[in-house]
Structure 1
Amino acid sequence: MKTSLRRLTATAVSLTMAAVAATACGGGADEKADTSQQRQGAMSDYAEGKQFRATEPLTFSILYNDHPDYPYKADWLLWSELEKRTNVKLAPTTVPASDYEQKRSLLLSAGDAPLIIPKTYPGQESAYVASGAVLPVSDYLDLMPNLQAKVKKWKLEPELDTLRQEDGKFYVLPGLHEEVWPDYTLVMRTDVLAKHNIPVPTTWQEFESVLQQLKQLYPDRIPYSDRWEAKSMLNIASATFGTAAVFGSNGGRWSSNADGLVYDEQSGKFQLAATTENYKNLVSYVRGLVEKGLMDPESFTQTDDQATQKFVTGQSFVISGNSQSVVTYRKSMEGTLGKGNYTVAKIPVPGGPAGQIMTGTRLENGIMINAKAKDDPKFVAMMQFIDWLWYSDEGELFAKWGVEGTTYTKNGDTLALTPEVTYNGLNPGGTKNLRVDYGFSGGVFAYGGTTQLLHSMMLPEEVTWQEEMAKTHTPQTPLPPYPFTDVEREQATLVITPIKDFIEQNTLKFIVGQRPLSEWDAFVQELRGKGVDNYLTTVNAAHERAKQKTGGR
C-alpha cells in the first residue's frame, strides 16, 4: 500500500516543477547563506538521526496555538523532557486557537513575533513575504539534515516546489508526510444501514439512493444534516466531480485549493471552477438532495453543535467528520442513545463523475521563522533544534507519543499507551490524557512523519479506513504553481476575495433554492463582471513564468 500510493502521488506531481525538483534542497534558486557567525550553542557534528543537544542552555521564543480541548500548562512533561533531551527551553507566547491567525498577523506586522512561528499552513506565509517579516527558509536547508533526508527519500521535491514564491524561494517549513493522509469524509449510522440491509454507498449516486431509502423508512426525519456549514462535504465532493470549491480548508485537511481554481491540461491554462460545467453539476447534485428532503437546508447555516446534536440524538443519520469526530460522536451517543444501541463509522469518500478521488497533500502545517532570527547568534542551533523536533524520527516519536515507560511502551515496532494514559479513543479507561495532562500530540509539534507512525496512533478501524482509501482512491493531482510578484499578489487578493464571497453566497442560494438554477448563466456573467478574466490573466501569466523557469507543467 505504501509504495503504490507514494508512486501514484509522485507520478501525479512529477511534472509540476521538473527542473526545480532536483534543486529543492539547496540548489538553483536556493542560496547557502553564511551562518558562520551564528553558531552559539550549535552542534558541530549534528547530522541525520543524531540527537540534537545544544552545547549550552538555550531559550527560543515560540508562538503557541492554545487549543481549548487541551489548554497550555507550564508543568507539562513535554517541556521538562524536551529541555532534558535538547538543553533548550521554549518561551511560548500563547494565543487562543480561535484568534491565532489574527494575532500572528498583528505580531508580524508590528515586528514583535517570536522567532519560531508554527501552525502555519502552506499559502498563509505569502502575506508576509513582501514585507520581509519572515525568513526565506529554503536558503537554510543545509542546516536541516533530517528534513533533507525525508524530502529525498519520499521524493517530496515537487511538493516543496509548489511552495516557492516568485523569487524562487519558499518561506514556510512544512510538515512532511510519507503519503497523502485523507481524514474528512461522511460519517454514517451503520447500525441503521445494517438493520435495513442497506449497503454502504461507494458513489454519490448510491449515496442519494441510500438517503432516499432512509427517508422512506423514517419520513419524519431528514437523513443528512451536516456541520461546518457543509463546506467539508463540498470540498471533498468537488474533486470527485472534477472541480474545486472555494471554501476554507479547516486547517488544511479538507482541500489544498481554497481559491477554487482548476487547471485545464489541454490548454495549459487556469480557470475559475465556479464558471465551469463541472461546478454546476456539483451544485445541482447538492441542490437535488435538499429539494428532495434528503439533506437538511440548515446544514449551510447551523452551528456545529446544532448539527452534532441532531446526529447524536438520532434526528439524522449522516454528518461530516474525521477520525477524532467519530470518537466524540460516540461519547455523546452513549448519553443520548445508550451504550451499544448504535454504531457509527466513517465511509470511504464516495466517487463521482471524475472517479474515486482522494483530496489532500503530503504537506502539513509548518513553521515560519521570524526574519530577525538570521542575525541571532543562536540561529544555527535553533535550526538544528527545529530539524530534530519536527523532522527527525526520534523527535516526531517524542512529540506524538511522549516518554517511553511513562506515556507509552514499545515492543518491537508496536507502540502502546501505558494503561493509565488515554488518547483519542485509545485506552478509553485511562485516567490521564496524553494531550491534556502531558502535552504530547497537541498539534503544535506533532505532525508529519512516516505512515507507520501516523497509523500507530489510530484505532484499528481508522487504519482499515486509511488502507481502503489508499487501495481504491487516486490522490488528487496538485495544481501547478503560479507564484505572484508582490504587486500581483496585492492586486489579486483585492480581486479574488470579493469573488470568493460572491461564489460562496450564490452557491448557497442555488443549493437551498433561493436562486433557481435557470439563472446559472447569469451567475457566471455576474462573476465575469467582477473581474474574473483579469484575475485569471494574472494567474496564468504567473504560471507561464514559472513554466518558463522550470520547464515543468
Structure 2
Amino acid sequence: MTRTWVKGLSLSLCTVMVASGLAACSSGGKETAPAPAGNASSKASGASKISEKEREVKVTFPEHPNQPVKNFALVQQEIFNQTNIKLKFENVPNSNYNDKKKTLLATNNLPDIIQIEMSDVNNFGSTGVFVPLLQYMNKGLMPNFKKFWDQYPDMVKLTADGELYGFPAIGRNELKNGFGPVIRTDLLTKHNLPVPKSFDELLTVLAELKKIYPDSTPFSVRKGSGPIHQLFKTMAYPLGSGVGSGNGIYFDKDVNGGQYLYGPATPQFKEVLAFFNKAFTMGVLDKDYAVATQQQWTEKLTSGKSFFFMDNSGFALDYTKQLQKAVPDGKFQIIPTPVNKSGKARAEFYATTLTSDRMFAISSKAKDPETLIKLLDWMYTEKASNLMSYGVEGVHHTLDDKGQPKLKAEYVAKFKEGQPTPFYAMYSELGSGKLSFTPWFANMDPQVQVEKLNGSWSQVHEEYWKTIADDKSYHDPYLDPPLTKEEAARVKEILAPLTTMLEQEYDKFIMGVKKIDEYDAVMKKARDTGGEELEKIYNGALQRLSQKK
C-alpha cells in the first residue's frame, strides 16, 4: 500500500481527570433511547444494517471509578437500534485491568473486542490473537477509518512489523492541558509572595509558606517515585530529563535535534534527583511521598494542609471547589511552567487526538470478524461519534446551525448534584465519552457544556485555560516508533531487571541516605546493563521509520 507521510506530525488525546474515587450517580430514571422515527437507520425503515440479524458482541475495557459502567446504557441501546448489534460490556476495574488483560492475551481467551495498548501489540501481535486490519482496509471495508489513516501519518507508529492490530481511540475538539504546576495562588497574594519563575524559586516560595504554616506539607504527591509513579512521570521532563510513559525511555527534542534517551541513565536525571532531595531536606516535600495514596494526597490538598502539586493540572478546578468548603477564599491555580537548571521551560500536553495507550482489537476467534470491522468503522462516522459522545440526537442533544452537537439543558439539569462530577454522572448514565467504548470521542467539549449549563463554570476555569493557552513551554506528545517483534522482546528483556535495580535506588538519593554524587555509579551501571542499548533500539526504529517516509 502507498502512504503519504508528513514529517514531524504528533497527534494525541487527553482528558482532565477528577481526583475523586466516588461512584457516579444516575438520574434514576428508566429512560430508553428510541429508534429515531423516519431515520434511514431505524428498524421501521427496513434499511440494511451492519448486521442482518440481531447479534451480541462482547467488549472488554477498563471501568474507571469516576464513571461506572452500565450495561446496555442509553447510547448502547441506540447503537443496537441503528446496527442490530447489542454490545455486552464485560468490564474489569481500572486498577486490575492490566493483570486481567495479560491473562486473557496469554491464554487467547479474549472477548470479541478488547481495549489494548501498544505494548500489547508488540508483545502479542505476532501470536495471532488479534485480527490484522490492513487487509480489510485495502479491500475497502474500512472507508471511514481510512480517512483518519490517510489524515494522520503518525498512525503508522501504532503498527507492528507493518501490520495494524487495533482501532485507535481518536479525540475530537479536545482542549489541551497536561502535567502542570498548580499552587495556592490565594496564599501567594495574601503573603506577598511572587509567582515562581524557576524551580529553585518554587522551593524558596514553598519554604516561606512552611515557615508561615509550620504544620503544613507544602509540596504533596501521589503514588511515590520510580519511572512508573507520578513523582518522576510528572516532573522529570520539566526539570530537564524524562521517563516517557513510565519505562524510562523518552524522546527529548532538546538533545541533538531530537533523539530518544533512557532518562534514568543520563546526567540530567541526576539533577532531577537533586531537586527532590533538596525539597525533601528542606521539609517542603511530603515526607511520606513514597507511600502516599491518591486519597491521602487529595485530603491534604483540599483540607488546606498542602499548597502545591505538579500533576494533572485539571485537578486544580475540582480541588478549588473542595478546598473552598474548608477555606472559603482558597484557590488552586495553574502557573506558567518554571524554568529548569538549564534555563528552559518545557512541558508536554496530554494527547488530544491520537495516543498509543488506547486501541480496540478484535479477537481472531471472533465470529464473522468482517461485521465487527464494519461496526468499528461505522463508529468513526460523525453521526456515530455524536451519538457516542453526546447521546441520542433530539433526546439528549440537538445540532446547532453549524451541525455541532449541543447538549439539552433539561437533560443536563438532572446531573447537577451528580458524583463525582455532573459530567461523569451524565457520561455514566449515557454510556458515552472517552472512558466508555468510543473509538472517536469528544470528551472535553461535552464536559465544558455541562459545566456551563449547570453553573459550575467560573472565573477559575477561565484563568486556568487562558494560562495554559498562553504558556509556550508546552508541546504535543510524541508517539514512539514501531518496534520489530525482536526489538520489542529485547526491550522487555532489558527493562525488567533494569527497572527493578533502579527502583531500589531512587528513594535513597531523594531521602539523603546516599549522596547525589554517588548516582554517577548507578547511572553507569544503568547504561552498561541496558540503558544504552535501549537508546540504540528506539533511535534505530525512529531512523527506520523516517527512511520510509
Equivalent-residue separation in structure 1 for 2:391 and 2:112 (angstroms): 25
Equivalent-residue separation in structure 1 for 2:348 and 2:251 (angstroms): 17
Deviates more, 1:405-414 or 1:75-84: 405-414
Instruction: Provide, for residues 124-169 of structure 1, a one-character-per-residue CA deviation record: whole Å limited to 9, x for no partner.
Output: 42221131212333443343333333454xx421x2122232x222
1:345 aligns with 2:333: yes
Aligned partner of 1:30 in structure 2 is: none
Displacement after TM superposition at 1:182 (Å): 2.7
Aligned partner of 2:15 in structure 1 is: none
Aligned partner of 1:519 in structure 2 is: 518
RMSD: 3.9
Amino acid at match of 1:109: A
Equivalent-residue separation in structure 2 for 1:195 and 1:264 (angstroms): 38
> Where does the alignment leave 5 or more consecutive residues of structure 1 unmatched?
1-9, 15-42, 45-49, 249-256
Displacement after TM superposition at 1:90 (Å): 0.9
Equivalent-residue separation in structure 2 for 1:191 and 1:66 (angstroms): 36
Counterpart pick for 1:172 among 149, 166, 177: 166
Amino acid at match of 1:415: K
Aligned partner of 2:409 in structure 1 is: 418
Aligned partner of 1:122 in structure 2 is: 118
Equivalent-residue separation in structure 1 for 2:321 and 2:258 (angstroms): 49
Equivalent-residue separation in structure 2 for 1:301 and 1:309 (angstroms): 15
Equivalent-residue separation in structure 2 for 1:508 and 1:423 (angstroms): 47
Aligned partner of 2:277 in structure 1 is: 287
Aligned partner of 1:504 in structure 2 is: 503
Aligned partner of 1:314 in structure 2 is: 304
Aligned partner of 2:17 in structure 1 is: none
After TM superposition, the structure 1 = structure 2 runs for residues 57-136 of structure 1, keeping only pairs within 5 Å, are 57-74=54-71, 76-118=73-115, 120-136=116-132
Aligned partner of 2:433 in structure 1 is: 441
Displacement after TM superposition at 1:545 (Å): 4.2
Displacement after TM superposition at 1:414 (Å): 6.9
Displacement after TM superposition at 1:481 (Å): 5.0
Equivalent-residue separation in structure 2 for 1:305 and 1:87 (angstroms): 43
After TM superposition, the structure 1 = structure 2 runs for residues 316-465 of structure 1, keeping only pairs within 5 Å, are 316-322=306-312, 325-326=315-316, 328-330=318-320, 332-333=322-323, 337=326, 340-352=328-340, 353-361=343-351, 362-364=353-355, 365-372=357-364, 376-377=367-368, 379-389=369-379, 391-408=380-397, 411-412=400-401, 413=404, 415-416=406-407, 418-419=409-410, 421=412, 433-441=425-433, 443-446=435-438, 448-449=440-441, 453=445, 456-457=448-449, 459=451, 460=457, 461-462=460-461, 465=464
Change (3 A) 1:454 1:280: farther
Equivalent-residue separation in structure 1 for 2:354 and 2:381 (angstroms): 16
Instruction: Provide, for residues 414-447 of structure 1, a one-character-per-residue CA deviation record: whole Å limited to 9, x for no partner.
Output: 7245345369989899799313433333602346
Count matched residues: 491
Change (3 A) 1:191 1:394: farther
SS at 2:269's partner residue?
Answer: helix
After TM superposition, the structure 1 = structure 2 runs for residues 30-41 of structure 1, keeping only pairs within 5 Å, are none
The answer on whether the counterparts of 1:135 and 1:368 sit within 8 Å (CA) in structure 2 is: no
Change (3 A) 1:212 1:265: closer
Equivalent-residue separation in structure 2 for 1:526 and 1:415 (angstroms): 56
1:222 aligns with 2:197: no
Displacement after TM superposition at 1:325 (Å): 3.4
Counterpart pick for 1:273 among 263, 267, 277: 263
Aligned partner of 1:137 in structure 2 is: 133
SS at 2:242's partner residue?
Answer: coil
Deviates more, 1:264-273 or 1:126-135: 264-273
Aligned partner of 1:192 in structure 2 is: 187
The answer on whether the counterparts of 1:225 and 1:296 sit within 8 Å (CA) in structure 2 is: yes
Deviates more, 1:259-268 or 1:143-152: 259-268
Displacement after TM superposition at 1:524 (Å): 1.4
SS at 1:175's partner residue?
Answer: strand
The answer on whether the counterparts of 1:356 and 1:474 sit within 8 Å (CA) in structure 2 is: yes
SS at 1:130's partner residue?
Answer: helix
Deviates more, 1:471-480 or 1:99-108: 471-480
Amino acid at match of 1:514: V
Amino acid at match of 2:376: I
Equivalent-residue separation in structure 2 for 1:324 and 1:215 (angstroms): 25
Amino acid at match of 1:177: G
SS at 2:406's partner residue?
Answer: strand
Displacement after TM superposition at 1:214 (Å): 1.7
Q: Percent identity?
A: 23
> Where does the alignment leave 5 or more consecutive residues of structure 2 unmatched?
1-5, 11-39, 42-46, 452-456
Amino acid at match of 2:112: L
Amino acid at match of 2:389: K
The answer on whether the counterparts of 2:243 and 2:250 sit within 8 Å (CA) in structure 1 is: yes
Aligned partner of 1:36 in structure 2 is: none
SS at 1:186's partner residue?
Answer: strand
The answer on whether the counterparts of 1:348 and 1:465 sit within 8 Å (CA) in structure 2 is: no
Instruction: Provide, for residues 279-312 of structure 1, a one-character-per-residue CA deviation record: whole Å limited to 9, x for no partner.
Output: 2222222222222222213223211111211112
SS at 1:274's partner residue?
Answer: helix
SS at 2:114's partner residue?
Answer: strand
